């Protein structure tokens, strides 16, 4: 009987210890979600000033002190109640179970705290019922932690690692489908991405001299299919305005056609090191659709539009009448053809590489870096277990690259990062 009572006490302590550790390791956001889901007495306890903190404190004390108290009580029991060796046997079992408890506690709480918390809700309510008198006494003595809880949430409600973990768990458990998970991840990364990573580079910017006639500008619009074109004076580093197709058509129909300078709207300049969320906020505030990206020397680095920013979140937006060549092609011999402008993230995804610390952002930039000179068609470089062969160029810029593995796929799983 004494042994059974000891085992029951140890089981209760096990649940108490796990519950206490779970509460301590869960942040305020997770705790609040759990409490709101449980509702009833638990929600009332959360909302009552000082009571939740008092209950959490009592659970922590019980989990830390009760095993030692139980062991002492077993040692002090008369031999007549437990037999000659029963007392030591009970004490040994208590010690063993406490050790097992700590191991279980670490594994359960460390791996999936939310699941453990949900499963222990009923025990939590039972413990709350038993400790209600002590909670009522301790609550007035506890410091008000409402402000501390609020400050914790305001300072950093959820870290980036937690958000990433939430997305992974949500996708794995079917709460989010893969597309939704990637969408949420894109939103999280949006504020950490620099505008130079998504801008149209200088060499691809379609622009025109500000002194161009309206007819000449109309031809530029037709050839480019763009709805807005930057105008420059003397060189592309001196962009003086942006001309909208709508304004051009209005000017062409005017009895006294204005100049392009008169039709152009002011241009907004942003440094290439500004984050995407900041650029988006500024464009919205100024009701602009486009901004010119400048480098550290004040020259034009590229162009960014609202569409570029949205594509960073939702993926590429293609017009119904827009025909684009495939940027990645699988060739019959097993190699791949990449557009030189493709981001290296596609290489990482397709070939299992890790290029986070490299100085380039595109496949063309990777080849340029590896060669160290302006290539000719047919030039190749080997890196990360792959051979990159330049196929076509345009004005010294790499257009297409053929990529092939240096070793069979099954032999390269370890990753050949010879740089």
Residue 322 placed within a domain = no
In the chain, the largest separation of any two C-alpha atoms, in whole Å, equals 117
Within 8 A by CB and 6+ apart from 245, the residues are: 221, 226, 227, 228
User: Do residues 117 and 251 both lie within one domain?
Assistant: no
pTM (predicted TM-score): 0.48
Domain count of the fold of the chain? 4
User: Do residues 278 and 296 both lie within one domain?
Assistant: yes
Provide DSSP, 203-270. GG---EETT--HHHHHHHHHHH--SEEEEEESEEEEEEEEEEHHHHHHHHTSSSPPPHHHHPBPP-EE
Residue 337 placed within a domain = yes
- CA distances for 72 relative to 76, 88, 90, angstroms: 6, 11, 11
User: Do residues 151 and 8 both lie within one domain?
Assistant: yes
Give the model's pLDDT for residue 394.
Answer: 83
Give the model's pLDDT for residue 292.
Answer: 94
Give the model's pLDDT for residue 310.
Answer: 83
Domain C-terminal end among 269, 284, 314: 314
Residue 117 placed within a domain = yes
User: Do residues 132 and 212 both lie within one domain?
Assistant: no
Give the model's pLDDT for residue 211.
Answer: 93
User: Do residues 17 and 97 both lie within one domain?
Assistant: yes
Residue 245 placed within a domain = yes
Residue 37 placed within a domain = yes
Give the model's pLDDT for residue 350.
Answer: 80
User: Do residues 23 and 81 both lie within one domain?
Assistant: yes
- Residue 309 sits in which domain range? 195-314
Residue 78 placed within a domain = yes
- Report whether 201 contacts 302 (CB < 8 A): yes
Residues in the chain where the model's pLDDT stays below 70: 1-52, 55-56, 59, 63-91, 93-94, 96-98, 100-102, 104-129, 138, 140-166, 169-170, 173-176, 178-181, 188, 315-326, 356, 407-419
Residue 93 placed within a domain = yes
Give the model's pLDDT for residue 145.
Answer: 47
Q: What is the pLDDT of residues 162-204, one digit of tens each?
A: 666 667 766 776 666 766 667 777 776 777 788 888 888 888 8
């Amino acid at each position: 009987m004494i042994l059974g009572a000891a085992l029951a006490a140890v089981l209760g302590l096990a649940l108490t210890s796990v519950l206490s550790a779970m509460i301590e390791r869960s942040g305020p956001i997770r705790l609040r979600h759990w409490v709101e889901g449980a509702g009833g007495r638990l929600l009332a306890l959360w909302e009552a000033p000082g009571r939740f903190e008092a209950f959490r404190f009592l659970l922590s004390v019980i989990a830390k002190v009760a095993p030692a108290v139980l062991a002492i009580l077993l040692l002090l029991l008369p031999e007549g109640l437990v037999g000659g060796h029963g007392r030591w046997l009970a004490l040994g079992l208590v010690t063993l179970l406490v050790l097992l408890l700590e191991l279980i506690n670490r594994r359960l709480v460390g791996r999936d705290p939310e699941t453990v918390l949900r499963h222990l809700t009923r025990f939590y309510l039972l413990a709350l019922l038993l400790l209600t008198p002590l909670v009522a006494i301790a609550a007035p003595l506890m410091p008000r932690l409402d402000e501390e809880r609020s400050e914790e949430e305001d300072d950093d409600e959820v870290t980036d690692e937690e958000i990433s973990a939430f997305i992974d768990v949500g996708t794995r458990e079917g709460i989010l489908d893969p597309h939704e998970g990637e969408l949420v991840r894109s939103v999280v990364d949006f504020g950490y991405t620099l505008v130079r990573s998504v801008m149209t580079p200088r060499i691809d910017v379609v622009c025109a001299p500000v002194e161009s006639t309206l007819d000449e500008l109309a031809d530029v619009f037709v050839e480019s299919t763009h709805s807005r074109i930057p105008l420059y004076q003397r060189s592309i580093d001196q962009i003086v305005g942006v001309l909208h197709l709508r304004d051009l058509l209005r000017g062409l129909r005017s009895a006294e056609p204005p100049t392009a300078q008169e039709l152009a709207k002011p241009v907004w300049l942003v440094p290439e090191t500004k984050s995407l969320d900041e650029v988006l906020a500024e464009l919205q505030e100024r009701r602009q659709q486009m901004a010119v990206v400048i480098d550290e020397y004040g020259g034009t680095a590229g162009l960014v539009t609202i569409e570029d920013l949205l594509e960073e979140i939702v993926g590429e937006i293609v017009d119904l009448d827009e025909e684009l060549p495939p940027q990645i092609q699988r060739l019959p011999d097993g190699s791949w053809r990449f557009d030189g402008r493709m981001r290296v993230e596609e290489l990482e995804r397709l070939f299992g590489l890790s290029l986070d610390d490299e100085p380039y952002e595109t496949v063309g930039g990777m080849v340029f870096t590896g060669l160290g000179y302006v290539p000719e068609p047919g030039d190749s470089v080997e890196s990360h277990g792959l051979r990159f062969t330049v196929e076509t160029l345009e004005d010294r810029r790499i257009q297409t690259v053929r990529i092939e593995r240096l070793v069979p796929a099954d032999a390269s799983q370890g990753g050949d990062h010879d740089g």
